[in-house]
Amino acid sequence: PRPILDMSYSRHFLDFQGSSIPSSMKKLVVTKLSQNFREAVTLRQDSPVPLPGDGDLLVRNRFVGINASDINYSAGRYDASVKPPFDIGFEGVGDVVALGLSASADYTVGQAVAYVKAGSFAEYTVVPAKQAVPLPSAKPEFLTLMVSGATAYISLKELGELSEGKKVLVTAAAGGTGQFAVQLAKKAKCHVIGTCSSDEKGGFLKSIGCDRTINYKTENVESVLRKDYPEGVDVVYESVGGKMFDLALHSLATKGRLIVIGFIAGYQNPTGLQPVKAELLPAKLLKKSASIRGFFLNHYLSEYKMALKDLLKMYESGDLVCEVDFGDTSPEGKFTGLESVFRAVDYMYMGKNIGKIVVELPHSVNSKL
């Protein structure tokens, strides 16, 4: 067994391959609050590599995940008290390259881990050992489960009341979290309808079990739902907002449930919202005994470990497709390196991705990894 060194108090340490960890690194920092990600965020070339404390891991990031809410974060919408500059990026997968003494009780240098913590858009991130998830290997597929998979799993379990034969509508179904809502609703023996923006996405959705796909660029979603589902749908997993929210609300069955997990259509607006016809809301809900529930993952962290364990088990046994989109088909090619995070965010807002958008961070030349 490799001896564990107490690195928590050392100003200079070596990683497990014997190549020194650099003293500086690249990272993305929010330097100005704006819903325009390119305006808000700066790539810093020579930030100091942080040191792990006693209970921490220093993770060299291999893959980082792009989330629609990255824009909300860079616009300062989650916590008005936080002022720039601050770190950005919510999730990463990488290797432990140094750790504190207490953290060494459960982790070793060289171990692959995933985590959810602000500050993943960096070459190295300090992660409290308690918040890390040990992985068999540093694969990008594991990253899809950390925020996107967990959001679909917990929201449908806690708020969806899914049961056999229920009709479930998933908006933006081919996206990072939509792909999991489709699969989990199918596992609950529901009839699943997914909206998407291309025939290619429709093909992907059918491949993961979607019963009816609606390409909203070529079909009228409202007409399709009225014709094919005259009684309405029982559950809507909604992440688009604006007109799609109104349409979903209108399509609810008696006692139907609409779960709001986001409203990406408005995130790039100054307010973060697109208008909805809310003045009719009380009457619509009353008429159908329907309900709307919001879901924000941070409020359900007590369920998180159990959800992740179940999702990892499903993926490893081949029961769950974790589609990753590295942007290979985007004009400038694959998302590689922190500088490509800007392109990756644009790509998501153009609605181009199938599955979860992931950026790969290649190791620098001096590393032996």
Confidence class for position 21, pLDDT limits 50, 70, 90: confident
Mean pLDDT over the full length of the chain: 93
Mean pLDDT (whole number) for 350-360: 97
Distance CA 352, CA 78 (A): 26
Q: Could you state, in order of their start, the residue ranges of all structural domains in the chain?
A: 24-138+323-360, 146-299
- Per-residue pLDDT tens over the stretch 190-239: 999 999 999 999 999 999 999 999 999 999 999 999 999 999 999 999 99
Assigned CATH topology for domain 146-299: Rossmann fold (3.40.50)
Q: How confident is the model at residue 9 (pLDDT cuts 50, 70, 90)?
A: very low
Look at residue 83 in the predicted model and tell me its pLDDT. Answer: 95
pLDDT in tens, 153-163: 999 999 999 99
Task: Please state, in angstroms and rounded to a whole number, the distance separating the CA atoms of residues 237 and 182.
Answer: 9
**pLDDT at residue 4, as a whole number:** 54
Tens of pLDDT, residue by residue over 84-111, are 999 999 999 999 998 888 898 899 988 9
- Does 3.90.180.10 match the CATH number of domain 24-138+323-360? yes
Cβ atoms of 116 and 131 closer than 8 Å = yes
What's the sign of the alpha-carbon dihedral 198, 175, 332, 31? positive
How many Cα atoms sit within 13 Å of 116 on the Cβ side? Answer: 18
φ and ψ at residue 185, rounded to 5 degrees: -65, -35
β-pair type (167-170, 191-196): parallel
Count other Cβ atoms within 10 Å, centred on residue 177.
26
Residue 320 has pLDDT above 60, yes or no: yes
DSSP β-ladder status, 56-65 and 91-99: antiparallel
- pLDDT of 12 reads 39
Is residue 15 pLDDT above 90, yes or no? no
